[in-house]
Chain A
Amino acid sequence: MTGRLRLGAQAVAVAVVAALLGLLIWKVAQGESAVTTELERGGTPAAPLFTLERLDGKGDLALELLRGKTVVLNFWASWCGPCRDEMPLLQQGSERWEGRNVVFVGIDIDDLRSDARSFLERFGVTYANVYDGKSSTVGRYGVTGVPETYFIDAAGKILYRIAGPVEDAADLDKGIRSAVQGSP
């Protein structure tokens, strides 16, 4: 009886340790986004879909509805200095590429909604921006910080990524051309 009890206790202990180990592995795997891994391998991962509230109060924006267009997806926050620096470049880029089947979308993360709205107003940003205060897109895209910009082709594949601020118009156009041509 004692032997069986001891065996049972050992089995439970092993099961608990295995469960904790599994949890740790899962947590580590979660941290490493599939998008990041595939981009680093030179692949073109599918852009994770999202539906988020627009900051201009015009309801929600679903990425899926932009299928068939090239999308420039920029992650930013109002408190981020480099985001402030690149915002005029992005606004100018959206105007330059207007009417050429290229759509700019901003995703505001880790931010207060009111601060985000003031920021967009201050910089005169006219393209669509959504609010992701709960950071639901951050892990799935493998965003390492703000700003970060993803270039998505018409088929919904990520072709190019700029981690950090967009340096200049040429930098931005290079990413857009990659996505338009459908090759990284």
Chain B
Amino acid sequence: MGLLALAFAAPAVGSELKPTPAELESELVCPVCETTLDTSNAPVARRMKATIRARIAAGDTKSEIKAQFVDQFGTAVLAVPPRKGFDLVAWVLPLAGLGLGVVAVGALAWRWSRARGDAPPVGDDGEPLDPALERRLDAELERFEG
């Protein structure tokens, strides 16, 4: 178990200490075109890419490089919003919506299944069967099966 955790943790630590330009370019957004740097060719995006390469060469960690960009452009420069403060809403809201949806669908399904189980037998026209007719039908079926 410990080895498994270590196997997953190792690449994350490696990526934090020795990030690649490609991963940072996919995690940072161009402030002009508002797409990730890897899909942008705007002049400022090109300058940001050059800065990333220079900072990696200087030995900065992934967090340090990201922090430098956040200091200049704010948290809007991050492709994935941080899980704190107001930005937490971006994480919580979809999950809350999903949870509410699951609860609503479950409640509706339960109601429908209950309504179906309790309903009296109906004829072709959708009207409930006359009790006398139902008794006669049961008797006929019993006779037929007997």
Main SS of chain A's interface residues?
loop
A112 touches B47 (CB 8 A): yes
Q: Are B51 and A112 in contact (CB under 8 A)?
A: yes
The size of the chain B interface, using a CB distance under 8 A, is 14
Q: Of A2, A131, A134, which one neighbours B76 at CB under 8 angstroms?
A: A134
CB pair A79 B43 closer than 8 Å = yes
Instruction: Please determine whether A79 and B74 come into contact, CB atoms closer than 8 angstroms.
Output: no
Question: From residue 65 to 84 of chain B, which have CB atoms closer than 8 A to chain A?
Answer: 72-74, 76
| Cβ-defined contact, B72 with A110, below 8 A | no
Interface contact B74-A112, CB-CB below 8 Å = no
Select B47's contact among A5, A115, A134, beta carbons within 8 Å.
A115
Structural contact, A112 and B44, CB atoms closer than 8 A = yes
Evaluate whether A113 and B31 lie within 8 angstroms (CB atoms) in the complex, with A79-B44, A79-B47 already known.
no
Q: Does A77 contact B (CB under 8 A)?
A: yes
Q: Write the chain B residue with the least CB distance to A9.
A: B104
Grouping DSSP codes into helix (H, G, I), strand (E, B) and loop, the B interface class, with mixed when no group exceeds half, is helix
Q: Does A142 contact B (CB under 8 A)?
A: no
Chain A, range 112-134, C-beta contacts under 8 Å to B: 112-115, 131, 133-134
Q: Check B73 against A134 for contact (C-beta < 8 Å).
A: yes
Q: Quick check: is B17 within 8 A (CB to CB) of the other chain? A: no
Q: How far is the CA of A40 from the CA of B135 in the complex (A)?
A: 83
Docked pose: A113 CA to B51 CA in angstroms: 11
Contact-residue size bin, chain A (C-beta under 8 Å from the other chain): 10 to 19
Residue of B nearest to A134 (CB): B74
Distance A135 CA – B76 CA, assembled complex (angstroms): 10
Q: Complex Cα distance A133/B29, Å? A: 13
Chain B 46-71, CB-CB to A under 8 Å as 1, else 0, gives 01100100000000000000000000
Task: State whether the Cβ of A56 lies closer than 8 Å to any Cβ in chain B.
Answer: no
A135 nearest CB across to chain B (Å): 7
User: For the complex, is B32 an interface residue (Cβ under 8 Å from A)?
Assistant: yes
Q: Which residues of B contact A113 (CB under 8 A)?
A: 72
Which chain B residues numbered 103 to 119 have a C-beta less than 8 Å away from chain A?
111, 115
In chain B, what residue has the closest Cβ to A115? Answer: B47
Q: Which residues on A are within 8 Å of B, measured CB to CB? A: 2, 5, 77, 79-80, 110-115, 131, 133-135
Task: Identify 11 residue pairs between A and B in the complex whose beta-carbon atoms are under 8 Å apart, listed by A's number.
Answer: A2-B111, A5-B111, A77-B44, A79-B43, A79-B44, A79-B47, A110-B31, A110-B32, A112-B44, A114-B51, A134-B76
A110-B31, A131-B72 are known; give 7 further A-B pairs, CB within 8 A.
Answer: A2-B115, A79-B43, A110-B32, A115-B47, A133-B73, A133-B74, A134-B73
